[in-house]
Structure 1
Amino acid sequence: MMISPEWYYEEHLKGKSKEQIMTSIRGLKQRIGSLKNSMENPYEDIKIFMQPSEETQLYWTREYLKMAKQAYAEAGGTYIMSESEARAAEFDENIYSISKITFRIKKSSDIFHKYVIEVLNDIITLSEFREHGLIKKRHKKNVTKTVFLYELKNLHIGERRRRYSAKHDEFNVLNITKWEVEFEYSNEFKPKKFGGENAYPYNFDRFQMLFEVD
């Protein structure tokens, strides 16, 4: 059972020095990294059931980290982001300037699939392509730009590695799934690409839901 951020503050942060709070921050960041690595491990097909789930643990650990950073500032500390944190923050700062997202995925036994989401004013347009061209184009009903990009932000895409890959063996060399996603912006922020081969970010299924992938 996870405790609330307020209770975490009372138990682990209240009355602590800057140094003690920074120790907690490091521990929380390590825990986040460990959980993500476990969920993204392509070789762990069978997971031991745990309660709460790793994704739930990850969510609350992020909340504790926010609380710890706030406590660190209140204790007089100036938190300096790591390179990866700065990269993730930069992605989030520009998320509401996203104008187009192109998602491509291809399995060994299938043709390539391409999905394009275009963000124009408050209209979200989803187009679906196959090798022979466009097969479907529609507006995402009841989804505003603000809601869509908020959902996207909750996927923490800026934290992703640029490339995900798994070693090929006798089985998966014949079962390769390749994917790539590119974000384009309406401001001067440069396009961002992420991709992989037989390996995925921990919330890849949730990401595909934004494109209504079957």
Structure 2
Amino acid sequence: MMISPEGYYEVNLKGKSQGEILKEIRSLKREINQLKRYLEEHSLEPEEMFPTRLTRLKCNREYLDRAIQAYAETGGIYKPTKAEQKDQAFNESLQHMKRFIFDYGGYFGGYEKRTCTITDEKVLFDLEHSLYLKPSNHPVYEPFTKVEFLEGIAALHIGEWKRNYIDPLVFDGTQWSIDIEYEGDHKPVYIDGSNAFPYNFDDLLEFLGVNEEGDEDEV
């Protein structure tokens, strides 16, 4: 069982020196990176550990945030890594996002495209599937506000993801891509994969309401 961030603080950080807290921060970051690598290298294997590695990773993120806060409380100035700066910059750019397009599927189950368009304070949602006729030519509003949608995307830490995830040993299976368009001069973001996935890809599927069984979702 994982403990809360405050419980973690009481057990591992309270009363520690600045140097000891910094050492704990480095240890947490090493474990987070190890968990990411394992999950991506074994993305097609079922998870049998409990708590799962992804749960441990998410908890360690919260512990890391608490450790950085404790480090600042001792007068330390935390310097984020390039990867952390990249993720932070990505999340800041979301305020200028106008469209999030997700393609997902395979040869046998068909392909679907989910397009989420930011309009004022709502998210306009459109679904196309290669094996199904659309029930209507009119898009519908997904039950997300703009704030909820952007917070959900930010929580995925897509800024940390690689730009390509490819398993060269698997020819059939699942292909996917993310295409993010922005207002103004922000450069678009494109990420894709074939039978390989980021460590928290299932969180993205859940957030977008993708049914991995291949059945068409009700919209």
TM-score (norm 2): 0.84
The runs of 4+ residues in structure 1 deviating greater than 4 Å are none
1:7 counterpart residue number: 7
Give the counterpart letter for 2:108 in structure 1. Answer: S
Provide the identity percentage. Answer: 34
Query: SS of the residue aligned with 2:204?
Result: helix
In the alignment of these two chains, the number of paired residues is 209
Structure 2 contact 43–197 (Cα < 8 Å) conserved: no
Structure 2 contact 103–178 (Cα < 8 Å) conserved: yes
Structure 2: gaps spanning 5 or more residues:
212-219
Structure 2 contact 44–196 (Cα < 8 Å) conserved: no
Residues 3-58 of structure 1 deviation map (CA, whole Å, 9 limit, x = unaligned)? 221122122222222221111111101111122222222466243332x2222212
Give the counterpart letter for 2:25 in structure 1. Answer: I
Alignment RMSD, CA only?
Answer: 2.4
1:207 counterpart residue number: 204
TM-score (norm 1): 0.86
1:153 counterpart residue number: 154
Q: Does residue 31 of structure 1 match 2:31?
A: yes
Provide the C-alpha distance between the structure 2 equivalents of 1:4 and 1:131, rounded to a whole number of angstroms. Answer: 44
Q: Which 10-residue stretch deviates more, 112-121 or 61-70?
A: 112-121
2:168 counterpart residue number: 167
2:128 counterpart residue number: 129
Provide the C-alpha distance between the structure 2 equivalents of 1:124 and 1:118, rounded to a whole number of angstroms. Answer: 6
Query: SS of the residue aligned with 1:73?
Result: helix
Aligned pairs (5 A) from 1:109-120: 109=108, 111-120=110-119
Query: SS of the residue aligned with 1:142?
Result: strand
Structure 1 contact 114–130 (Cα < 8 Å) conserved: yes
Which residue, 167, 170, 190 being the options, matches 2:187? 190
Q: CA deviation at 1:187?
A: 4.2
Structure 1: gaps spanning 5 or more residues:
none
1:103 counterpart residue number: 102
Structure 2 contact 18–71 (Cα < 8 Å) conserved: yes
Q: Which 10-residue stretch deviates more, 104-113 or 22-31?
A: 104-113
